[in-house]
Structure 1
């Protein structure tokens, strides 16, 4: 299944990159510490791939941050397209 980038992926990725840089660690360190391939870390941080919940928790654990910190401020409109549109509830 191809990965489709979105503003949401870029938003979360930027928050991961910011937290990593604040800690003063490299992408390779984050990869080794979280057990996630470094190419995936680069894809997440650049917004080329959407991180799964399980992976986000692993990254958050490595960065000693609550997983919710990476989602704070995320809104439906960042997902774009039909998947990001709000549906009326009858």
Structure 2
């Protein structure tokens, strides 16, 4: 059964794809610029995988944008921490 993308991964992937296309950069060119395998770039853009912070920064730099721009509009409630105790 295919894995359903998380809403956060799908959102970030769409932002990466839209920015890449606006810059008229191919997936293969972005992969070359970032030294990230093109299959990983495609997985990020489709929402099948979540880029690490390191990869997100490399992608942002290659696309001449900021990591914040790629995260813009992300619903932070998706990352709510449940249970456990606060440190301190």
User: For 1:4-83, what aligned pairs fall within 5 Å after superposition?
Assistant: 5-77=5-77, 79=78
5+ residue gaps, structure 2: none
TM-score (norm 2): 0.83
CA distance in 2, matches of 1:86, 1:53: 19
CA distance in 2, matches of 1:85, 1:34: 30
**8 A contact 1:4–1:49 mirrored in 2:** no
Q: For this pair of structures, how many residues does the alignment match?
A: 83
TM-score (norm 1): 0.81
CA distance in 1, matches of 2:80, 2:40: 28
